[in-house]
Amino acid sequence: MIEMIRELIMGILGLIKKGDLDIAGEKIDNLYYDFLKEDAAFFTSIPAEDLTKRLLQEHNYTHGHLEILAWLFDTEAELELARGNRKMSQEFSQKSLTLFEFIENEQKTYSLERTEKIEALKKRTGK
């Protein structure tokens, strides 16, 4: 499932690079619901420091769900950056970093892509 979401995200990133920002935004919104059964607003309303606790304990999400959400937040950060909204881009980047670091610490499997994404997010957020 993670591989599938990454492939879909690559297509969305292509739309962002081409300047098709509205279409990219619609596709991101669809992915939230298709993979996580909630709309984007549900996730964006949760503060970064509460994400893992609330989603794991209150909503019974798995680490797989959190990783999908981390990739979606990262894509949202790219979209907001393309729209010129640096503040929102930083917020999405921070949430993505929080989730990726949590997953990295909790899971037993190593992922080079995840490790590289964490480093890129640290640079983007200044951490």
pLDDT, one tens digit per residue, over 3-14 is 889 899 999 999
pTM for the whole structure: 0.93
The one-letter code for the residue type at 28 is: I
Q: What per-residue string of b and e applies to 4-40 under the rule 16 or more CB within 10 Å gives b?
A: ebeebbeebbebbeeeeeeebbebbeebbeebbeeeb
Which pLDDT value is given to residue 66? 95
Which pLDDT value is given to residue 109? 79
Which pLDDT value is given to residue 111? 83
Stretches where the chain sits below pLDDT 50 are none
Domain extent for 22:
2-125
Which pLDDT value is given to residue 120? 93
- Chain Cα centroid distance, residue 115: 14
Three-point CA angle 42, 51, 112, nearest 5°: 110
Which pLDDT value is given to residue 85? 97
Say if CB 1 and CB 35 are below 8 A apart. Answer: yes
58: DSSP letter: I
Structural domains of the chain, count: 1
